[in-house]
Amino acid sequence: MHRRSSSLNESGLQEKTVDPRWQSLYADCRSDLYRVAAYLIGSAEAEEVVQEAFERGMHERNFFEDIGDPLAWLRRVTLRLAISRLRRRAVLERILPLAAARAPAQPDPDLHDALRRLPPTQRGALVLRYYFGADYSEIARTLGLTEKSVGSILTRARAALRRELA
Mean pLDDT by 10 residues, the chain (166 residues): 50 67 93 88 91 94 91 90 83 68 64 85 85 84 88 93 87
Name residue 6's beta-bridge partners: 16
Do 54 and 107 fall within a single domain? no
Size of the chain in residues: 166
**Would you say 39 and 78 are in contact if contact means Cβ atoms under 8 Å apart?**
no
Four-CA torsion 46, 91, 150, 154, nearest 10 degrees: 110
Distance CA 94, CA 98 (A): 7
Give the residue from 86, 78, 88, 29 showing the smallest Cα distance to 55. 78
What total of structural domains would you count in the chain?
Answer: 2
Domain limit, last residue, from 68, 97, 126: 97
Domain limit, last residue, from 70, 97, 124: 97
Domain limit, last residue, from 73, 97, 121: 97
pLDDT at 134: 82
* Residue 127 phi, psi (nearest 5): -65, -45
Instruction: Tell me the one-letter amino acid at 92.
Output: L
pLDDT at 1: 44
pLDDT at 47: 94
Q: Which domain holds residue 76?
A: 5-97
Distance CA 127, CA 121 (A): 10
Please tell me the pTM assigned to this model: 0.52
pLDDT at 131: 78
Give the count of alpha carbons within 13 A of 148, CB side only.
Answer: 0
pLDDT at 3: 46
pLDDT at 41: 85
